[in-house]
């Protein structure tokens, strides 16, 4: 017998029980974004491969081993986007959105990385990304962080995430630091694992976030980035810290925070949690003032971050018992008797005219009252409307509040107002 076709490993289906959770969370995120004046941008899932190689860097985990790359039918190499910043910058340059302008943008959608699937780590996952162009001061870095802090509050997870912050300085400062770090690592090669030895020359800063405990101990004695920071980056970072202090946002300065993509400079940050096991980074970002120019635009300061939606959803579900998914049905319409089904459907249509935001489901397939009430419960309805032959004849309807069992008989004309009050 042929093997059943299944979803690709690490690529999830999101079923209705999941999408109601996602919709509520996305709604909260978007509402907060709107309250800061950020606009949505929608970008292709596929880009030319060189875009990612140039933006993210040849010697990064993402480009070296995680990209889904294939040849188009005309032989051109294409890649499923592993992140959103590169495409966002490409689009901004292509459409002339960046030079001498301010842009505050966000996007939400699937990203693709060939990784080992586990809780919080998938091959198709979703990011909410935010990118700001044309602003160079630390105030905008602070606003991005304040906005994320507002998200956590609105989602009821503020006590379960903490902010880590660092400055990785200018390109030149990093080059000087790289030399000092490599010199140090060369003296301690015996402690380094193969991965670190490989990275030591190709991308030495990545050794700083090695998960190997022996390497981490060794790094306690290593030269630090902070000692090599250029003055402008130092001032920028102090400015950011002061703004966060004023806003009452707590943070830890983590000198080893470098982030995995090559385009960052100055500010880098991550929101981390201990409530999700080892996939603890919910959100990460920073400045990337050189990227626009590197992708053939005119030099434009930029800062942004990306949040892993799956990790956020897992976290909300793990720590916020009061979180309510989006409700599918407010009102369930129950009908029984000769010719009553048609009257019920017309009543529902009229209600949708009068109160478009109401979520109304009409019973289909008949069934006695008991069965229909059971269906109303199954859909999570707050209110049931009950129509029988008598109600139809009298232009009335029975309204039953399913939360407390109270019921009343009303004229159909009064229904919309009563329902809106009941559900407010
Ligand atoms: P990690 O250290 O967990 O691999 P990363 O540094 O590769 O993360 P970024 O490229 O900065 O992650 O992406 C931003 C966010 O996207 C991460 O903080 C995380 O929440 C999420 N993310 C990244 N890769 C995955 C994945 N494979 N599955 C689910 N979420 C992911
Ligand atoms: Mg990764």
At CA 254, angle to CA 180 and CA 249, rounded to 5? 145
CA dihedral for 285, 286, 292, 294, sign (positive or negative) = negative
222 Cα: distance to centroid of ligand 1 (angstroms): 27
Q: 184 near 178, Cβ under 8 Å?
A: no
State the helix-helix crossing angle for 340-354 and 415-423, rounded to 10 degrees. 70
Pocket test for ligand 1, best of 268, 308, 311 (most atoms within 8 A of CB): 308
Q: What residues does ligand 1 touch, defined as CB less than 6 Å away?
A: 83, 113, 115, 120-122, 125, 127, 260, 279, 281-284, 306, 308, 310-311
Q: Which atom of ligand 1 is nearest to the CA of 209?
A: 2
206 Cα: distance to centroid of ligand 1 (angstroms): 15
The whole-number mean pLDDT for each consecutive block of 10 residues of the chain, a chain of 424 residues, reads 90 97 98 98 98 91 94 98 98 96 98 96 98 98 98 98 95 89 91 87 85 89 91 96 98 89 89 91 96 95 98 96 93 95 96 94 96 96 96 96 94 91 88
**Cα(166)–Cα(24) distance, integer angstroms:** 32
Residues in Cβ contact with 376 at an 8 Å cutoff, skipping those fewer than 6 apart:
329, 332, 334, 363, 384, 402
- In angstroms, what CA-CA distances link 91 with 3, 131, 286? 42, 12, 20
- For the CA atoms of 13, 15, 17, 19, the dihedral, rounded to the nearest 10 degrees, stands at 80
Q: 129 near 86, Cβ under 8 Å?
A: no
Tell me, what's the pLDDT at 1? Answer: 65
62 Cα: distance to centroid of ligand 2 (angstroms): 7
**Cα(226)–Cα(229) distance, integer angstroms:** 5
Q: Considering every ligand atom, which ligand is closest to the CA of 123?
A: 1
Beta strands 103-112 and 162-167, pairing class: unpaired
**Residue 255, Cβ density class (10 Å: 0-12 exposed, 13-18 middle, ≥19 buried):** middle
Q: Please name the residue whose Cα sits nearest to atom 24 of ligand 1.
A: 121
Pocket test for ligand 1, best of 10, 64, 125, 203 (most atoms within 8 A of CB): 125
Lookup: tokens for 320: 């916020």
Q: Please name the residue whose Cα sits nearest to atom 7 of ligand 1.
A: 260
- DSSP assignment of 331-387, as one string? EEEEE-STTHHHHHHHHHHHHHHH-TT--EEE--S---HHHHHHHHHHTT-SEEEEE
Pocket test for ligand 1, best of 144, 277, 311 (most atoms within 8 A of CB): 311
User: What's the half-sphere exposure (Cβ side, CA atoms, 13 Å) at 358?
Assistant: 28
66 Cα: distance to centroid of ligand 1 (angstroms): 12
**Cα(189)–Cα(214) distance, integer angstroms:** 12
Beta strands 281-287 and 360-362, pairing class: unpaired
Count of C-beta atoms within a 10 Å radius of residue 292: 23
Lookup: tokens for 382: 């707050």
Q: Considering every ligand atom, which ligand is closest to the CA of 116?
A: 1
With CA atoms as reference, report the closest residue to 343 among 396, 399, 392, 400. Answer: 392
Tell me, what's the pLDDT at 208? Answer: 86
- For the CA atoms of 347, 353, 356, 358, the dihedral, rounded to the nearest 10 degrees, stands at -10
Q: Please name the residue whose Cα sits nearest to atom 21 of ligand 1.
A: 308
CA dihedral for 76, 80, 85, 90, sign (positive or negative) = positive
61 Cα: distance to centroid of ligand 2 (angstroms): 7
Tell me, what's the pLDDT at 146? Answer: 98
**Cα(61)–Cα(260) distance, integer angstroms:** 7
- pTM of the model as a whole: 0.93
**Stretch (H or E) spanning 69:** strand 68-71
102 Cα: distance to centroid of ligand 1 (angstroms): 27
Q: Please name the residue whose Cα sits nearest to atom 19 of ligand 1.
A: 308
Q: Which atom of ligand 1 is nearest to the CA of 62?
A: 7
Tell me, what's the pLDDT at 258? Answer: 85
- Provide the edge-to-edge strand list for the sheet that holds 68-71: 46-48, 77-80, 68-71
Q: Which atom of ligand 1 is nearest to the CA of 285?
A: 11
128 Cα: distance to centroid of ligand 2 (angstroms): 16
Q: Which atom of ligand 1 is nearest to the CA of 83?
A: 10
Tell me, what's the pLDDT at 377? Answer: 95
Tell me, what's the pLDDT at 202? Answer: 83
Q: Which atom of ligand 1 is nearest to the CA of 121?
A: 28
Q: Considering every ligand atom, which ligand is closest to the CA of 206?
A: 1
Domains of the chain: 16-170+230-319 (3.30.930.10), 331-423 (3.40.50.800)
**Cα(267)–Cα(30) distance, integer angstroms:** 24
Q: Which atom of ligand 1 is nearest to the CA of 270?
A: 18
């Amino acid at each position: 017998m042929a093997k059943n076709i299944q979803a690709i490993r690490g690529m999830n289906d999101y079923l209705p029980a999941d999408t109601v959770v996602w919709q509520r969370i996305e709604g909260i995120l978007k509402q907060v974004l709107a309250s800061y004046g950020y606009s949505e941008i929608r970008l292709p899932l596929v880009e030319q491969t060189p875009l990612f190689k140039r933006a993210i860097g040849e010697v990064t985990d993402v480009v070296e081993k995680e990209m889904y790359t294939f040849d188009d039918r005309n032989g051109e190499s294409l890649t499923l986007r592993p992140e959103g910043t590169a495409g966002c910058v490409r689009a901004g340059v292509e459409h002339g959105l960046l030079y001498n302008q301010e842009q505050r943008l966000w996007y939400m959608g699937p990203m693709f990385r060939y990784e080992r699937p586990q809780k919080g780590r998938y091959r198709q996952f979703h990011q909410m990304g935010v990118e700001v162009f044309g602003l160079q001061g630390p105030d905008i870095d602070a606003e991005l962080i304040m906005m994320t802090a507002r998200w956590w509050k609105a989602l009821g997870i503020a006590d379960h995430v903490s902010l880590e912050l660092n400055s990785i300085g200018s390109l030149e400062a990093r080059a000087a630091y790289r030399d000092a770090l490599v010199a140090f690592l060369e003296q301690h090669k015996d402690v380094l694992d193969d991965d670190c030895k490989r990275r030591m020359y190709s991308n030495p800063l990545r050794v700083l976030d090695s998960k190997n405990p022996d390497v981490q101990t060794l790094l306690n004695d290593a030269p630090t980035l902070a000692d090599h920071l250029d003055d402008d980056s130092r001032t920028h970072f102090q400015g950011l810290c002061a703004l966060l202090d004023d806003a009452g946002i707590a943070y830890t300065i983590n000198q080893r925070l470098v982030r995995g993509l090559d385009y960052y400079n100055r500010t880098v940050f991550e929101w981390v949690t201990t409530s999700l096991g080892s996939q603890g980074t919910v959100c990460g970002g920073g400045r990337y003032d050189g990227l626009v120019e590197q992708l053939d635009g005119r030099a434009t300061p930029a800062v942004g971050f990306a949040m892993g939606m799956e990790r956020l959803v897992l976290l909300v579900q793990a720590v916020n018992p009061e979180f309510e998914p989006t409700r599918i049905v407010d009102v369930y319409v129950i009908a029984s008797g000769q010719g009553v089904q048609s009257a019920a459907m017309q009543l529902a249509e009229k209600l949708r005219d009068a109160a478009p935001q109401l979520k109304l489901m009409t019973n289909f397939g008949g069934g006695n009252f008991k069965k229909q009430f059971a269906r109303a419960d199954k859909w999570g309805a707050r209110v049931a409307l009950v129509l029988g032959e008598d109600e139809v004849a009298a232009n009335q309807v029975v309204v039953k509040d399913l939360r407390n069992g109270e019921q009343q008989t009303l004229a159909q004309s009064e229904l919309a107002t009563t329902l809106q009050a009941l559900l407010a």
